[in-house]
Structure 1
Amino acid sequence: MAEALNVAERLDGAAILAMHRTLMADHMPSAAGRWREEAVWIGGSARSPHGATYVAPVHTRVPDAIDDLAVFMAREDVPVLAQAALTHAQFESIHPFPDGTGRTGRALLHAQLRHGGLAREAIVPVSAGLLTDTDRYFRALSVYRDGDAEPIVVEVADAVFPALASSRRLIADVSDTRAGWGERIRARRGAAAWALADLLTTRPVVDVRLVADRLGITTVNARLAVDRLVEDGVLTQVGNGARDRVWQAAEVLDAMDRFAARSRHRVV
């Protein structure tokens, strides 16, 4: 998701394709970064849209529909949160990809919040809040397609505030963990182990190659830094293999697990 946001310097069709390519390259490389070329629908059967609750626009209309959506995203006379909610509903209605529309739509939602200045660094889990009550969420999308935009704006707005609170809690938990490491790490000041400790707050699972690359040090020094933090109880090895070893900062992962659990439960 972070990489998808990084490619979204502009909110337009090219950025959306780049997001999809980043998110889906490993899952469906032949279709990643390309608009769909087939019909899609919700409900009915896999073979026919007969009885479907919604049929998306014919695939030949997708590029123009996305261009029209990009014009809306560029407007500056709509409040950012409402604009992001309406963009999300319209994007899901266009359904521009055969697979990955949902995750690309979530990336687009976060990109809008970032471009609008509502989120500068963290990815606020708004989309997770939307999906805590899927029936209500899908009803909001359905009535949007019938011409009533208010419910989906309310849904997104209601998802934002608990998401912000959960994100702040995560930041506090990780900051407290990092502060605690400061009393346990026995490396000299300026040693690579301290830079590795900082890295672990955002990348809690590492191997020697990643540490060397991110810190700009040799693999020998990276291994020494890892060994130091293992001895000081900050890192633990994942598994017992002797090759391709990976280490994790369990305390940061625990904080992230609590964050994920909170994101799935929205207070109503």
Structure 2
Amino acid sequence: MKTPFIPVELPPHTLDINRFVQILGEANRSLSRYDGMIHTIINPDVLLSPFITEEATQSSMIEGTLATVDDVYACEAGVNLGGGKEADIVEIENYRKALEYASASIGDRPFSLGLIKECHRLLLDGVRGSTKTPGEFRQEQNWIGRPGASMENATFVPPSPLIVEACLDGWMRYLQTDHVDPLVQSAIMHAQFEIIHPFLDGNGRIGRLMIPLFLYVKGVLHRPMFYLSAYLEAHRDEYYARLHGVHEYDEWEAWIQFFLRAIDSQAKENVRRSAAIIRLYEDLKEQFRHATHSEHAQKVQDAIFTMPTFTIPKMVERLKECPTTTARSLLNKVVQAGIVELRYEASGRRPAVYRLASLLDIASGRDVAGYGY
């Protein structure tokens, strides 16, 4: 019978940093370039809001959801997608809420177990896993394996619930040290959290959510807006294999090298997408001004960038600073000018759905090259 795993005390004693000096340097340079770009953007919350939705979608996909970014935005606009996707989208929206809550909180409070538990409570609110003590560390044994697997034939059996909090205390003490480069430390942080597996559900998503928070606390990022889940989803098999290698064979170096490659690759991709979004925003400024002939042109543009799939009634609600009749008139002018495209025809009580397709294509990586990057 398999027995619960007992995590090694951090930092790992087998670590030879010289074996990944090159990729560490590359990852730091790529991440620094991305962070520098974000630091110069006047309104990153507007321009990069699609990144948050993309992260929530990709992180949830790793755990088995099927909904896409387009599905999330369409559902928010009131489209009934069918096929059971609504439940997936609620999970994605919960992840986004937890991520936004954590990002907003981290500037005013320390990185703590309490914050992690609050994020977990938001993550599992009203979705599958909502009966598995959201916001509380587990009090019973769990295990990882194929659906229906017993503990005897599990792939991995995390630590006993009797030592979970002691493991977390040691993990938190390690995070408060400066034992090694923060990127390496973030790799160790993530792997150890997944090994401890302190919740009955949602451990992977919470573990990924913590990466930008930790890098922000360590001063690597000016804003906690760097997300790895797109890379991890694209390399899901290796992601799981490298984590498995850590607890099964003490292969910390292989895991850290994979994690640093993920940071390097995702940072470079984020630079490309960020630059393309900035270019698109600047290119569309004149079109919004010309279409609306209004002092509210930028407000309309910003609202559409943060909700790129919309109905006119829902977008009017978002444009609270504009009188309702004015907002509706401006949006109709944007539609007539062809800045946004029709996504779904009006149907019954549901009004027509429009989308800013160019932004969605860039955010999902479908058409970054079309904007010169």
TM-score (norm 2): 0.62
1:86 and 2:188 matched: yes
In structure 2, the residue matched to 1:6 is 103
Q: Distance in 1 between matches of 2:282 and 2:199?
A: 44
SS of alignment partner, residue 41 of structure 1: coil
Is 2:263 aligned against 1:157? no
The 3-state SS of whatever aligns with 1:14 is helix
Q: Which residue of 1 aligns with 2:90?
A: none
2:50 is aligned to none
Alignment check: 8 A CA contact 2:341 2:356 kept: yes
Match in the other structure for 2:338:
233
CA contact (8 A) 1:8 1:19 kept: no
Shift of 1:19: 1.6
Q: Compared with structure 1, are the counterparts of its residues 222 and 101 closer, same or farther at alpha carbon in structure 2 (3 Å cutoff)?
A: farther
1:22 to partner: Cα distance: 2.3
Work out whether residues 35 and 96 of structure 1, in 8 Å CA contact, stay in contact via their aligned partners in 2: yes
How far apart in 2 are the matches of 1:259 and 1:21? Answer: 34
Q: 1:98 to 1:86 in 2, by over 3 A?
A: same
TM-superposed deviation, 1:177: 1.9
Deviation, 1:4, is 4.3
Q: What pairs with 1:1-268 in structure 2 (closer than 5 Å)?
A: 1=96, 2-6=99-103, 8-9=105-106, 10-27=110-127, 28-30=129-131, 31-43=133-145, 46=148, 48-121=150-223, 123-145=225-247, 146-185=249-288, 186=290, 187-191=292-296, 193-207=297-311, 208-209=313-314, 211-213=316-318, 215-239=320-344, 240-241=346-347, 243=349, 245=351, 246-258=353-365
**Once the 2 structures are TM-superposed, how far is the Cα of residue 230 of structure 1 from its aligned partner?**
1.1
Distance 2:214 2:285 in 1: 37
Distance 2:323 2:141 in 1: 52
Q: Is the CA contact 2:343–2:355 (under 8 Å) kept in the aligned structure 1?
A: yes
Deviation, 1:33, is 1.9
Work out whether residues 7 and 18 of structure 1, in 8 Å CA contact, stay in contact via their aligned partners in 2: no
Counterparts of 2:201 and 2:144, CA distance in 1: 13
Q: Distance in 1 between matches of 2:326 and 2:162?
A: 55
Instruction: Give the whole-Å Cα distance in 2 for the aligned partners of 1:259 and 1:236.
Output: 17
5+ residue gaps, structure 2: 1-95
Cα 1:223–1:22 shift into 2, 3 Å: farther
User: Do the aligned residues in 2 keep the contact of 1:40 with 1:56 (CA within 8 Å)?
Assistant: yes
Q: Partners in 2 of 1:135 and 1:71 — Cα distance?
A: 31
Q: Which has the higher contact order (CA 8 A, sep 6+)?
A: 2
Report how far residue 261 of structure 1 moved: 10
Aligned to 2:43: none
Greater mean alpha carbon deviation, residues 178-187 or residues 8-17: 178-187
Provide closer, same or farther for how the CA distance between residues 252 and 26 of structure 1 changes in structure 2, counting only shifts above 3 A. farther
Q: C-alpha displacement at 1:45, in angstroms?
A: 6.5
Structure 1 alignment gaps of length 5 or more: 263-268
Q: Look up the SS of the partner of 1:184 in the other structure.
A: helix
* Cα offsets for 1:176-218 (capped at 9, x unmatched): 2222323323222522x32121233333234544554465334
Say if 2:137 and 2:198, in contact at 8 Å, map to a contact too: yes
Q: How many pairs does the alignment contain?
A: 261
| RMSD across aligned positions (CA) | 2.8
Distance of 1:138 and 1:44 partners within structure 2: 13
The amino acid of 1:52's aligned partner reads: A
- The residue aligned with 2:13 is none
Deviations 1:150-200 (A, max 9, x none): 122111111111111111111122222222323323222522x32121233
- Distance in 2 between the 1:45 and 1:226 partners? 48
